[in-house]
């Protein structure tokens, strides 16, 4: 069915329509965990200072349906964790969620009449929408061209779809990679993609701090790591390397909605004996319980930003500037 769908779009039987507003599509071919959210955050931060930008997402994991605008004080159950996190990190950006990206863009244009750009998060599979710029995210450890379509692998779309991207971001690289490593990686790239721009990135973790910006120390505390993300391996390794042994890893599925049983377990790790480290995405879903059920716990997000190898940042910034 996947091949047939793509074939019908490629042959014009199913029609793709260009967005009425310049749209940057950010997506992947895998089932999550490719570092798409830090890329989206970076793009918003590069565009927002000089342009009026809107972000449209599906809002995966939310309990609502249809088109909804996202505000800073919203509940993640209404908007989804990623859109809410990105709104908090970029308050000047107009954020909305909608399953149908094309319908969502049309509604955003009616509400936010002065927008210059739309960033469509996780929209590579929405063939009806034609983006002005397509950014495809994949992994250093297992890029899409070394992967297979589910169930044989973890791809949700065929590798040939990478041809629609102007830039392919290879995310979650090691912090330090040699010229030889980069050369060896590029040798594996299919000839059909040799004309594409490849940008290599890594995750930059920020020091722990409170909501007010006060530094937080893990000294003398037992570290509990709480994750509800697709590939927690990278965060586990960072926490162990920087802060020491993890006393307990509470590992949940991506976008996990916490049950009373989960909360009863989490609330056992109270301060000052314990410090709970988590992701910003997970914190969005924990926040509604912090005033009551989880009161008295020290829950600290490990914030991340995008770092670049070689001339990757220049390549991405130049491309973004060219369409603006």
Q: Which residues of the chain have pLDDT under 70?
A: 1-19, 123-130, 324
Domain boundaries of the chain, sorted by first residue: 18-203+307-323, 222-302
CA–CA separation, 60 vs 283, rounded Å?
15
What is the per-residue DSSP string for 87-136?
HHH-TTSEEEE-SSHHHHHHHHHHHSTT-SEEEEET-TT-TTEEPSEEEE
pLDDT at position 4? 42
**Cα R_g (the chain), whole angstroms:** 20
User: Tokens 């995008």 sit at which residue?
Assistant: 306
pLDDT at position 291? 87
Domain 18-203+307-323 identical in fold to domain 222-302: yes
Work out the mean pLDDT of the chain and round it to a whole number: 91
3-state class (DSSP) for residue 23: strand
pLDDT at position 37? 95
pLDDT at position 316? 98
Domain 222-302 sits in CATH 3.40.50: yes
CA–CA separation, 157 vs 162, rounded Å?
9
| CATH number, span 18-203+307-323 | 3.40.50.300
pLDDT at position 5? 46
pLDDT at position 12? 45
pTM to 2 decimal places: 0.92
Helices (H) and strands (E) in the chain, counts: 10, 15
C-alpha distances out from residue 176 to 22, 37, 309, Å: 35, 21, 8
pLDDT at position 222? 98
Which residues lie closer than 8 Å to 1 by C-beta, 6 or more apart? Answer: none
């Amino acid at each position: 069915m996947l091949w047939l769908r793509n074939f019908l779009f490629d042959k014009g039987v199913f029609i793709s329509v260009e967005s009425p507003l310049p749209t940057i599509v950010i997506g992947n071919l895998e089932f999550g965990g490719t570092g798409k959210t830090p890329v989206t955050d970076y793009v918003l931060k590069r565009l927002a200072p000089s342009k009026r930008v809107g972000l449209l997402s599906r809002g995966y994991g939310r309990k609502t349906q249809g088109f909804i605008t996202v505000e800073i004080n919203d509940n993640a159950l209404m908007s989804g964790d990623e859109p809410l996190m990105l709104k908090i990190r970029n308050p000047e950006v107009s954020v909305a969620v909608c399953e149908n990206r094309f319908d969502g863009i049309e509604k955003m244009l009616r509400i936010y009449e002065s927008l210059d750009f739309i960033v469509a998060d996780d929209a590579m599979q929405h063939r009806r929408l034609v983006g002005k710029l397509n950014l495809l995210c994949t992994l250093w450890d297992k890029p899409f061209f070394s992967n297979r379509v589910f169930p044989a692998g973890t791809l949700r779309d065929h590798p040939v779809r990478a041809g629609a991207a102007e830039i392919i971001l290879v995310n979650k690289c090691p912090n330090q990679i040699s010229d030889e490593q980069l050369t060896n990686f590029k040798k594996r790239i299919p000839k059909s993609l040799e004309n594409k721009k490849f940008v290599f990135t890594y995750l930059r973790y920020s020091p722990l701090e409170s909501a007010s910006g006060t530094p937080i120390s893990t000294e003398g505390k037992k570290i509990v790591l709480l994750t509800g993300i697709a590939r927690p391996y990278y965060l586990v390794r960072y926490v162990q390397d920087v802060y020491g042994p993890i006393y307990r890893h509470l590992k949940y599925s991506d976008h996990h909605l916490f049950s009373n049983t989960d909360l009863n377990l989490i609330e056992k790790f109270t301060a000052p004996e314990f410090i709970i480290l988590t992701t910003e995405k997970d914190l969005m879903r924990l926040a509604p319980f912090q005033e009551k059920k989880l009161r008295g716990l020290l829950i600290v997000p490990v914030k991340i930003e995008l770092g670049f190898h070689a001339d990757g940042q220049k390549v991405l910034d130049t491309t973004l500037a060219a369409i603006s």
